[in-house]
Structure 1
């Protein structure tokens, strides 16, 4: 018996040693060093005051208080809300967590959310106030607040925003800022010079006019810009943009979703003028629509799952910049591609689990040539059964085309240009398949020449630290603007004060994890 007891003690001791060894080899993650970088890189851009997410994630206390929710939504890949299949194609502004990063979050939560050393926590990224892009050249606002009644009904309301520019201007970026993200589902913006919208507005009581299905007429541009929750505004590539005509009006078609609390909204548009001559104007067109279905009409019978096939032949050589499928609550999956005349396929986008709440324009990492004679094809699947938890109708009913949330749509928008030789060699980010690698694009100073102050515009593919400096003509450091400051992904703008500097030639250098970029600055008298 003594021998058995002794053996038992030995076994227990060995087991304890094994558990201790396992505990010693299990990574001990902390918020400061492991979780904060993930949250700041993937979550905080939306989870902060004034943005679309329902609560902020900017401090340890905020993240820890939502730890179980974060573990669940990242574990199921519901968050971050990036819907395209990463094995099909990569894009600019891609926001996904790796399997290892998801496991790291889960382990941290299971360990009790240890904070670690607060001094090691990286700073919260600096975000421009009122814009994703920096300081706009023009802010065009709704003239008054609009009240959306809490009656549970959809509303498409159009607001006419006069611009009154003294001359036509080339536009490098257009950013729609939804005022009340709790009720604004999406915004489509047109641009017009005919004043027909003013007449429709005058005939409709109250501010703006209600119009389901377009603007009630064909404006000069029907898709000048758009906004959906979680979308990232972006400058057009150098030399490309849109034209905003003098005395034009911007037409905001705002879809106010069904709500049972009466609320108000006042949305704005930020306009960024082109710093370089625009020689190519981008068009935004819905090339895939029900009129090009090969198995129409667009009717989704009750209690059925149905896949529609769309196909349209491209008559001329085109260059594609982005793709944006659009549908409502019955939509389940999308696949959009190009089949070239030689039979080769260009993958555009594949979404395996469509979510009406997270739509967007997916911008390619490089410009894509579509030869004349190619076929744009799309497969769109809809689930009109009771097993679809998002089905707005119980019991299911036969559904057709319509503007209401409870109706359905099948559209794919493309940003495109007439093709020019060499377009396919223009890379808009890092190498294909490397969307997670940091990169710098579109570094520019404006104004330049300058006196008093200028601004440095830059754009990162992924969040990361930035150091910016002013050097003299020999490369000697004159002034440090920022040192190792964490900036989020996307376009940014950094003020460059010039007070105290003599007139002459300087260099403004930007250092990032992707390398260095230098821009020449001409400083004139009068500062």
Structure 2
């Protein structure tokens, strides 16, 4: 896309062949910082089925390498597909039903990092709607970062993150945080999030980070809706899986480990896994511990220039009983081999700046009642035709004998508290 964020356009053969060596190198990295496409799921452990999976297969990576090593042959031009036409939605991964636009922000080339709030801005929504997906993108007036002379997290983008909510008639709704390089947030089909009529978008905290040039920028917030009349079946689970107290990243050392734990208070379906670290972050794993069984649900690499959220595919979302211990493990690389580190001689602790650290799983989860939990497991067993000789990652009780919950009393939703 000639107006995209990449440093080169790959629309035509002549444009692409000049970058063959770089394309080969970046696609071969696979699941670590610097990899292209920026999708870091490790393919040899945990659940392997995700929505929006942009990763390449082994065959595709080998094909790219062979093409680069053999002189970038063009092939038969007659086999080319039609040239893509990029419309106004080309830079959206979702199909927006509504786009709200912030006021313009100015960040000077020499400005220090800034945290605060920006003016609230209207959605223009005239009726309550449930949201299927939300995506935020930054639009600014910097077209080329190559000659800037300053390499920084986020490259040309100046909005490092925004914690935000919507407000209408005194009622507020929280939404997933916006971060540099973040892909869309897709909610569970049975757990859409309500956007009320007349909602205003308000920032709780926004972090602006200079890219080295005077920059004017705005944020565009896109919502994709469920059909009119949709009602959610499940409630979201607002819980924190993080540890900001024990971050102690030594200078000039790699392989440093962080741990955090959370005991689920209700039956839980995990919708997505979203590691959030800072510049030293290199990898994070998510583990579920139930009784004597501990299993890895996902391990992913991390690049602070591309903060990814990994949405589990339908029928592969972990189904975990109440009392499961969720465990995240983070791995930090504070050496010169990490291109995001400005000076590996510095010790690093917890903090908001990119050169300080955070350690959080920002993924989405929903809470299930007893009836819903048993129903979800039964559907999973039927979908995969599971027998006693099978095992499904992320569903420790799928093949257990689970008693049918008693009928709930009138007016009792059966919903477990967060």
Q: CA deviation at 1:300?
A: 2.3
Query: 8 Å contact 1:337–1:347 — kept in the other structure?
Result: yes
Query: 8 Å contact 2:136–2:184 — kept in the other structure?
Result: no
- Distance between the aligned counterparts of 2:188 and 2:223, measured in 1? 16
Match of 2:97 in 1: 137
User: Which one of 37, 41, 55 corresponds to residue 8 of structure 2?
Assistant: 55
- Distance between the aligned counterparts of 2:282 and 2:333, measured in 1? 6
Query: 8 Å contact 1:314–1:376 — kept in the other structure?
Result: yes
What's the secondary structure of 1:52's corresponding residue?
Answer: coil
Q: Does 1:168 align with 2:168?
A: no
- Distance between the aligned counterparts of 2:184 and 2:176, measured in 1? 16
Q: 5+ residue gaps in structure 2?
A: 141-153, 385-418
Query: 8 Å contact 1:133–1:233 — kept in the other structure?
Result: no
Q: CA deviation at 1:242?
A: 0.5
Match of 1:244 in 2: 195
Deviation track 1:319-357 (CA, whole Å, cap 9, x = no partner) reads 1110101011112221111112x3333433212x42211
Q: CA deviation at 1:268?
A: 1.0
Match of 1:412 in 2: 361
Query: 8 Å contact 1:320–1:415 — kept in the other structure?
Result: yes
User: Which one of 311, 336, 360 corresponds to residue 261 of structure 2?
Assistant: 311
Match of 1:325 in 2: 275
Deviation track 1:264-286 (CA, whole Å, cap 9, x = no partner) reads 11221122232051223663746
- Distance between the aligned counterparts of 2:21 and 2:253, measured in 1? 36
Query: 8 Å contact 1:52–1:230 — kept in the other structure?
Result: no
Match of 2:39 in 1: 82
Q: CA deviation at 1:62?
A: 1.4
Counterparts in 2 of 1:249 and 1:76: CA distance versus 1, 3 Å: same
1:212-223 matches, within 5 Å, as 220-223=172-175
Query: 8 Å contact 2:161–2:208 — kept in the other structure?
Result: no
Counterparts in 2 of 1:72 and 1:303: CA distance versus 1, 3 Å: closer
Match of 2:395 in 1: none
Q: CA deviation at 1:151?
A: 1.4
Q: Does 1:357 align with 2:310?
A: no
Deviation track 1:159-187 (CA, whole Å, cap 9, x = no partner) reads 31223544432222222122137224544
Q: CA deviation at 1:364?
A: 0.8
TM-score (norm 1): 0.60
Structure 1 or 2: more strand by fraction: 1
Match of 2:351 in 1: 402
- Distance between the aligned counterparts of 1:386 and 1:189, measured in 2? 31
What's the secondary structure of 1:319's corresponding residue?
Answer: strand
What's the secondary structure of 2:74's corresponding residue?
Answer: coil
User: Which one of 235, 245, 248 corresponds to residue 299 of structure 1?
Assistant: 248
- Distance between the aligned counterparts of 1:268 and 1:282, measured in 2? 27
Match of 2:393 in 1: none
Q: CA deviation at 1:68?
A: 1.9
Q: Does 1:372 align with 2:308?
A: no
- Distance between the aligned counterparts of 1:167 and 1:417, measured in 2? 25
Structure number with the bigger relative contact order (C-alpha 8 A, sep ≥ 6) is: 2
Query: 8 Å contact 1:368–1:423 — kept in the other structure?
Result: no
TM-score (norm 2): 0.74
What's the secondary structure of 1:345's corresponding residue?
Answer: strand
- Distance between the aligned counterparts of 1:263 and 1:228, measured in 2? 16
Deviation track 1:360-386 (CA, whole Å, cap 9, x = no partner) reads 111112232111111010111223345
Q: CA deviation at 1:54?
A: 2.0
Q: CA RMSD in A?
A: 3.0
Q: CA deviation at 1:424?
A: 4.2
What's the secondary structure of 1:50's corresponding residue?
Answer: coil
Counterparts in 2 of 1:185 and 1:347: CA distance versus 1, 3 Å: farther
Counterparts in 2 of 1:194 and 1:272: CA distance versus 1, 3 Å: closer
- Distance between the aligned counterparts of 1:288 and 1:105, measured in 2? 39
Q: Which structure has the greater CA radius of gyration?
A: 1
1:471-510 matches, within 5 Å, as none
Match of 2:164 in 1: 190
Q: Does 1:70 align with 2:23?
A: yes
Query: 8 Å contact 2:191–2:366 — kept in the other structure?
Result: no
Query: 8 Å contact 1:179–1:265 — kept in the other structure?
Result: yes
Counterparts in 2 of 1:303 and 1:61: CA distance versus 1, 3 Å: closer
Q: CA deviation at 1:228?
A: 4.0
Structure 1 or 2: more helix by fraction: 1
The answer to which of 243-252 and 330-339 deviates more is 243-252
Counterparts in 2 of 1:346 and 1:277: CA distance versus 1, 3 Å: farther
- Distance between the aligned counterparts of 1:349 and 1:172, measured in 2? 24
- Distance between the aligned counterparts of 2:136 and 2:193, measured in 1? 15
Deviation track 1:207-254 (CA, whole Å, cap 9, x = no partner) reads xxxxxxxxxxxx9334346354162454x3434311112333212454
Q: Does 1:383 align with 2:333?
A: yes
- Distance between the aligned counterparts of 2:116 and 2:17, measured in 1? 40
- Distance between the aligned counterparts of 1:382 and 1:71, measured in 2? 26
User: Which one of 117, 120, 130 corresponds to residue 79 of structure 2?
Assistant: 120
